[in-house]
Chain A
Amino acid sequence: MSEAVSRYRDPAGESPTWRVLLTLVAVAFLAIVVILPLITVFYEAFRKGAAAFFEAFQEPDAIAAIRLTLTVAAIAVPLNLVFGVAAAWAIAKFDFRGKTFLVTLIDLPFSISPVISGLVYVLLFGAQSYLGPILKSQGIQIIFALPGIVLATVFVTFPFIARELIPLMQEQGTGDEEAALSLGATGWQTFWYVTLPNVKWGLLYGVLLCNARAMGEFGAVSVVSGHVRGLTETMPLHIEILYNEYNFAAAFAIATLLALLALVTLALKTLLELRYGDEIAAGRKH
């Protein structure tokens, strides 16, 4: 009997040998491609010892870069949050012509090279542009300053929150809102007490991804920043400078902060998918 059981093979599955083999191939590939680079960040950061590691964070330019990164994310993420909620309300709760086209336009920044995302603002606001002389006469600096960095970050993180909310709110339909309205709630109350609680986990999920990208953006910000040390350098740009100066220990030390941000983002994301899988759109996708 037991022998019969052990000899049983799922006719519509791979043999145990193939299972083990394919699993090993998959895990080995991931170990080399994804996990090894992650380990390298921490290994290189501590290679010269813990003192060198912590020294990297004492440097005024590093502190300024961390502060600038936090400032940029603190402006860019709320901007895209408000947009994401507005876009999702209009697109998911109403039916109108041209909706598919509008969604395609919102997704556009995903398919544009980050370098081009920065370049467009240089062409629009830079010294050589039509607006350049006007801005200069008014004493407004956009390119090579905080506004340009924020704009480029907003551009690359533009679709994140909208894209998470639209399918989720589409799936939830308009029944709850119609019930609230017919019971006498105002539009604002309906949104605040009915819609928002329904999508809160999906919203958090979108904000997490948006924030991770905002703090880590390199290409777009690099084009508009001007690389003024201590002034217009975000953390990723500061890493580049340190690396190009062969100050590897410091470059990787700063990089561990961003790697930790990525790990925390992943952990929270996984947690949200496990616990609130049916309350976030992405949880249904896989």
Chain B
Amino acid sequence: MTRWRQPSILPGFGLTLGYTLLYLTLIILVPLAALVWRSTGIGWSAFWALAFDQRTLLALRVSFGAALIAAAVNVVFGVVVAWVLVRYDFPGRRLVDAIIDLPFALPTAVAGISLAALYAPKGWIGQIFAPLGIKIAFTPLGIVIALIFVGLPFVVRTVQPVMAELDREVEEAAATLGANRFQTLAQVVLPMLVPAILTGFALAFARAVGEYGSVIFIAGNVPYVSEIAPLLIVIRLEEFNYAGATSIACIMLIISFCMLLIINMLQMWSRRRYSNV
């Protein structure tokens, strides 16, 4: 018989594991099971009709599309920010490094009203674009702006530690062998960062898809145009349309689980890739 746990002289295993499982079950698993249970009660064809009606599909498209664009923007600038913070020294570097985490710490509702004020046609940034005929707040573009804010720390904080661990001798070797700096960065450094960049992208994307508070103030929330999926869940709930809310939530939950799986696989790949460094 193989033991399911290694023997240890430390006490308290049963108590702490038992409490962990009980608390996890009561707070997370039972409520999630209730969601799945309720969705099975809707019936397959009704569920299908609710989950894939025009308005839901467009809301999902807005959520996923905006999250994709925002995560892509964050990858480009996040990598530059991380590189600058890891490799260069300049006055105020510590402060800049600390401020990266602000989107983690600032409540989403505060970020939401602030971004809406900033990008509204009369706001500081909005009034620069308004004469050009570009509306940012209250359009899908505003959603992307909010999601860039929310996702930035995920990319920077995932890429930064991997950059710090990079072996600079490899870059020196490339330079010695005649590569110019651009070639070294593109063909030597970047490939080593790919797993971390992809993980950061996936984390920022996953967070952005479900984001609610920072988006709804700047989005305009026009059905079929700038309405995100989480908001549609709230609207269905306010209409007492529990089946509608449940079906959208289920679709989003399934996609979240797939994202989680992908992120875990990326992290495993990343760890395997650097286990020999």
Contact = CB atoms under 8 A, between A and B. Distances in A.
B50 interface: no
Interface string A171-185: 000100110011000
B115 interface: yes
B117 A212 contact: no
Contact of A252 (B10, B113, B171, B213): B113
Contacts of B206: 111
B31 A121 contact: yes
Given A34-B103, A124-B31, A178 B98 contact: no
A216 B210 contact: no
Interface in A130-181: 151, 154-155, 158, 174, 177-178, 181
A196 to B, nearest CB: 13
A96 to B, nearest CB: 4
A270 B6 CA distance: 38
B223 interface: no
Contacts of A151: 27
A119 B28 contact: no
Interface of B: 4-6, 8-13, 15-17, 19-20, 23-24, 27-32, 34-35, 38, 77, 80-81, 83-85, 87-88, 90, 94, 96, 98-115, 117-118, 123-125, 148-149, 152, 157, 160-161, 164, 168, 171-172, 174-176, 181, 184, 206, 209-213, 217, 229-231, 233-234, 237, 240, 242, 245-246, 249, 252-253, 256-257, 259-260, 263-264
Interface residues of A, number: 102
Per DSSP, chain A at the interface is helix
Nearest 9 CB-CB pairings of A with B = A216-B107, A113-B210, A96-B5, A187-B11, A218-B213, A120-B31, A219-B212, A262-B105, A236-B109
23 contacts: A12-B172, A18-B181, A34-B102, A37-B111, A44-B117, A89-B12, A96-B17, A102-B24, A104-B264, A108-B260, A111-B256, A116-B210, A120-B32, A190-B10, A215-B107, A216-B108, A218-B108, A236-B109, A239-B109, A258-B106, A261-B105, A263-B105, A266-B98
Contact of A95 (B6, B181, B257): B6
